[in-house]
């Protein structure tokens, strides 16, 4: 997907027209209609923070992109991300110091007085939002908190001060998740009766927005959670209201399952069990006894996914037991990592991943390719310009950067997903393709590859690369390729943009996500006797070790590649190193409220212990295999991953046989 100075306006316009939204609604409080028109027509460049807010109002999450920004903007972005990381780690004094540095260095209060300085307005909103979060952590006065949230909202949300009904306020508005989050925080400090009405309106508003899965998961569960707290504080008077709240909580958990996130999940599971207790009375006492400990729990077997779940198609007993099991597993893994279970902060709303400094990327990539400044600059710009770019002494025109990137084997786009196209339908089909591939539905993958190839330009090396890679993966699943031929096909895909030997060589690296994915797919073969497997293992390990210094920026790719690396370490008998990496992944996932590969991490660490036991090496944790397989089964039901569920069920059956 493309949304840089070449395609951003076009893509924005397509999204807006697809939902039939007036231009004035999208830009309201951010810029005027004249500026918005120039953005859509490609006549005006805007910063990433403005791009993301405009896209956010159209329901698009910025985490789905690889992003390139100039060094001045990168420094501001890095400062904001450091503040978020400090708050996540509960280092509030240090976070506050950086927050004040952000305001002073950007002169945010002064600059935001100009309605045309959108960057300052959005950064000031971030500043006020983080300041409120720190004040909340310190249990400061609620009136002060509400005022901070009100000031933050006024930066971009119009009509807050108007005397109108809440539904009138939300009518004809398109708000981003950042703005919806601020409204939830603002509403939770209202008097109970007004707060309940306001929060109900927020929940209805979110339900009617066409938000993507991740965007929905960021705000809907939180809104439902605070609506319940307000209702409970006032007193829930009848069964009809109770059952309505039960449905809302159930829906909120489903949105978290859709996106594999944990925002307010522990709180919502507790609430759901409380509501079922209220409706079912003493019946729940028996269910509590049945699920008192996973070790002795006989309910978790090959029929578990069929018998228990979250949705209303299951009986109250089945829902209660499922919630209780998920809650117990979450408690255990949070405790192992010594991370708070409750969602006490909302940095996840602002976390922005895969962001890179343009000047650094040009320098690193040129050195990787052993390309002289003269060769890189030929017919594009002067050699001196390259030198000044790499020293961050000049900000070149985007057209120059576009051509330099292409010469370096990179996409010329400043923000992109796996395929480079502003065709919304092609993007949606590509997501379906990946889902079918993950589920092993090979014929559907083949069909979609053919359709997508006709919708995107296969002359673009990055598009050719990703299609070649996924086609090879699909053929391997179908057993149409042996390991040697599969590896060669993946190497051919990689070399659409970067020579294989350079990709696996030592030294400072910048690799695109797709290039990293190619190397990861080679490593998946896990053959110790294959030269390429070992080369990719060493190269990816070096890259990821370096990335651990700023892990939040690379978390998705770090999870994707490092879990395979850690697993391979275990296969090679390096059990302690493997456990260390698995734990790093698990900790980083949980602190960012992600659950993507948690079950596989637990399994791999258990496998390492089992190998130690076989080889009579001291076991690190000594966790019972049967109980750990039960945890993995429960986690896969949360993810609705049937393949992994069957995998862990088979292991559980075999483990029980061995115990007997």
Residues 26/57, Cβ–Cβ less than 8 Å: yes
Q: Is the pLDDT of residue 660 over 90?
A: no
pLDDT tens digits along 112-143: 887 788 999 999 999 999 999 999 999 999 99
pLDDT tens digits along 493-551: 999 999 999 999 999 999 999 999 999 999 999 877 889 999 999 999 999 999 998 88
β-bridge partners, 69: 357
In CATH, what number is assigned to the domain containing residue 384? 1.10.260.40
CB count, 10 Å around CB of 526? 15
pLDDT tens digits along 77-89: 999 999 999 999 9
* Phi, psi dihedral angles at 322 (to 5 degrees): -60, -45
**Joined tokens for residue 11:** 């893509």
Domain limits at 601? 554-659
pLDDT at 12: 85
Shared domain for 404 and 506, answered yes or no, is: no
User: How would residue 623 be classed by pLDDT, with cut points 50, 70 and 90?
Assistant: confident
Residues 532/491, Cβ–Cβ less than 8 Å: yes
Mean pLDDT of the chain: 92
DSSP 553: G
pLDDT tens digits along 440-465: 899 999 999 999 999 999 999 999 99
Q: What is the percent of the chain with per-residue pLDDT over 90, rounded to a whole number?
A: 76
Lowest mean pLDDT: which of 59-63, 245-249, 472-476? 59-63
Is residue 103 a part of any domain in this protein? Answer: no
Residues 513/540, Cβ–Cβ less than 8 Å: no
Shared domain for 423 and 374, answered yes or no, is: no
Shared domain for 522 and 595, answered yes or no, is: no
Shared domain for 432 and 529, answered yes or no, is: yes
Q: What would the mean pLDDT of 262-267 be, rounded to a whole number?
A: 98
Q: Which residue has the higher pLDDT, 658 or 232?
A: 232
pLDDT at 376: 97
Tokens 């901070």, located at residue: 148
User: If we measure between CA atoms, which residue out of 560, 591, 626, 637 comes closest to residue 334?
Assistant: 591
Shared domain for 434 and 504, answered yes or no, is: yes
Q: Which of 537, 567, 589 is the last residue of a domain?
A: 537
pLDDT tens digits along 538-592: 999 999 999 998 888 888 899 999 999 999 999 999 999 999 999 999 999 999 9
Is residue 104 a part of any domain in this protein? Answer: no
Using DSSP, state whether 594 is helix, strand or coil.
strand
Q: How many domains does the chain have?
A: 4
Shared domain for 394 and 504, answered yes or no, is: no
Is residue 549 a part of any domain in this protein? Answer: no
Shared domain for 440 and 524, answered yes or no, is: yes
Is residue 265 a part of any domain in this protein? Answer: no
pLDDT tens digits along 5-56: 456 778 888 889 888 999 999 999 999 999 899 888 888 888 899 989 998 9
* Phi, psi dihedral angles at 40 (to 5 degrees): -65, -30
Is residue 323 a part of any domain in this protein? Answer: no
Tokens 């039901």, located at residue: 637
DSSP 619: P
pLDDT tens digits along 141-183: 999 999 999 999 999 999 887 778 888 899 889 999 999 999 9
Shared domain for 568 and 625, answered yes or no, is: yes
Shared domain for 462 and 526, answered yes or no, is: yes
Q: For residue 192, count CB atoms less than 10 angstroms from its CB and return exposed for 0-12, middle for 13-18, buried for 19 or more.
A: middle
Q: Is the pLDDT of residue 621 over 90?
A: no
Shared domain for 435 and 530, answered yes or no, is: yes
pLDDT at 5: 45
CB count, 10 Å around CB of 18? 12
The C-alpha atoms of residue 222 and residue 224 are separated, in whole angstroms, by: 5
Q: CB-based contacts of 386: which residues, under 8 Å, 6+ apart? A: 362, 366, 373, 376, 377, 404
Q: What would the mean pLDDT of 214-233 be, rounded to a whole number?
A: 96
Is residue 116 a part of any domain in this protein? Answer: no
CB count, 10 Å around CB of 444? 16
Tokens 């993950």, located at residue: 438
**Joined tokens for residue 26:** 């999208």
Shared domain for 463 and 408, answered yes or no, is: no
**Joined tokens for residue 191:** 């008097």
Shared domain for 12 and 45, answered yes or no, is: yes
Is residue 505 a part of any domain in this protein? Answer: yes
Query: 513-523 and 461-477 are packed helices; what angle lies between their axes, rounded to 10 degrees?
Result: 20
Alpha helices (H) in 383-460, listed in sequence order: 383-390, 398-407, 424-438, 442-453
pLDDT at 4: 45
Q: What would the mean pLDDT of 610-638 be, rounded to a whole number?
A: 89
The C-alpha atoms of residue 566 and residue 501 are separated, in whole angstroms, by: 23
Is residue 395 a part of any domain in this protein? Answer: yes
The C-alpha atoms of residue 258 and residue 88 are separated, in whole angstroms, by: 24
CB count, 10 Å around CB of 435? 13
User: How would residue 1 be classed by pLDDT, with cut points 50, 70 and 90?
Assistant: very low
Q: Is the pLDDT of residue 351 over 90?
A: no
């Amino acid at each position: 997907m493309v949304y840089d100075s070449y395609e951003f306006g076009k893509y924005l316009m397509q999204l807006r027209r697809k939902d039939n939204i007036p231009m004035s609604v999208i830009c309201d409080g951010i810029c005027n209609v004249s500026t918005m028109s120039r953005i859509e027509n490609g006549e005006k460049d805007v910063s990433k923070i403005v791009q993301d807010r405009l896209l956010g109002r159209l329901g698009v999450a910025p985490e789905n992109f690889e992003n390139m920004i100039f060094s001045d903007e990168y420094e501001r972005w890095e400062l904001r991300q450091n503040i978020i990381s400090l708050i996540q780690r509960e280092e509030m004094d240090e976070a506050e110091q950086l927050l004040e540095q952000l305001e002073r260095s950007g002169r945010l209060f002064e600059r935001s007085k100009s309605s045309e300085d959108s960057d300052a307005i959005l950064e000031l909103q971030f500043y006020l939002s983080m300041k409120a979060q720190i004040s909340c952590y310190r249990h400061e006065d609620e009136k002060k908190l509400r005022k901070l949230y009100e000031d933050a909202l006024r930066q971009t949300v119009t009509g807050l001060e108007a005397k109108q009904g809440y539904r009138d306020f939300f009518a004809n508005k398109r708000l981003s998740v950042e703005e919806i989050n601020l409204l939830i925080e603002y509403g939770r400090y209202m008097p109970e009766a007004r707060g309940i009405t306001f929060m109900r309106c927020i929940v209805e508003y979110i339900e009617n927005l066409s938000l993507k899965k991740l965007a929905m998961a960021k705000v809907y569960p939180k809104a439902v959670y605070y609506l319940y707290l307000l209702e409970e504080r006032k007193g829930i008077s009848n069964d009809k209201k109770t059952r309505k709240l039960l449905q809302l909580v159930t829906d909120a958990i489903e949105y978290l399952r859709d996106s594999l996130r944990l925002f307010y999940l522990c709180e919502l599971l507790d609430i759901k069990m409380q509501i079922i207790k209220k409706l079912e009375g003493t019946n729940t006492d028996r269910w509590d006894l049945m699920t008192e400990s996973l070790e002795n729990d006989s309910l978790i077997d090959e029929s578990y996914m069929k018998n228990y779940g979250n949705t209303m198609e299951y009986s109250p007993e089945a829902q209660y037991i499922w919630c209780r099991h998920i809650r117990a597993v979450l408690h255990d893994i949070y405790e192992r990592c010594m991370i708070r279970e409750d969602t006490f902060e909302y940095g996840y709303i602002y976390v922005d991943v895969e962001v890179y400094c343009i000047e650094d990327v040009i320098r690193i990539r040129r050195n990787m390719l052993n390309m002289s400044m003269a060769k890189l600059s030929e017919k594009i710009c002067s050699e001196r310009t390259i030198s000044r770019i790499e020293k961050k002494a000049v900000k070149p025109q985007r057209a120059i950067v576009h051509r330099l990137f292409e010469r370096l084997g990179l996409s010329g786009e400043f923000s992109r997903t796996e395929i480079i196209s502003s065709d919304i339908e092609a993007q949606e089909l590509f997501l379906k393709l990946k889902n079918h591939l993950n589920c092993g539905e090979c014929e559907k993958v083949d069909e979609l590859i053919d359709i997508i190839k006709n919708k995107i330009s296969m002359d673009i090396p990055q598009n050719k690369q990703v299609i070649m890679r996924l086609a090879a993966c699909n053929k391997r699943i179908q057993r149409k390729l042996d390991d040697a031929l599969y590896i060669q096909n993946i190497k051919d895909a990689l070399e659409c943009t970067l020579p294989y030997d350079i990709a696996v060589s030592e030294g400072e690296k910048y690799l695109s996500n797709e290039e990293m994915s190619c190397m990861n797919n080679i490593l998946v073969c896990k053959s110790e006797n294959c030269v390429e497997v070992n080369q990719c293992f060493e190269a990816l390990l070096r890259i990821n070790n370096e990335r651990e210094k700023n892990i939040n920026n690379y978390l998705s790719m770090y999870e994707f590649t490092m879990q395979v690396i850690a697993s391979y370490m275990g296969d090679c008998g390096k059990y302690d190193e493997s456990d260390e990496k698995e734990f790093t992944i698990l900790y980083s996932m949980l602190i960012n409220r992600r659950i993507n590969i948690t079950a596989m991490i637990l399994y791999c660490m258990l496998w390492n212990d089992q190998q130690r036991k076989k080889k009579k090496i001291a076991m690190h944790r000594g966790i019972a295999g049967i109980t750990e397989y039960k945890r993995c089964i429960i986690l896969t039901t949360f993810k609705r991953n049937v393949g992994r569920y069957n995998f862990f069920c088979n292991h559980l059956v075999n483990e029980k046989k061995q115990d007997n």
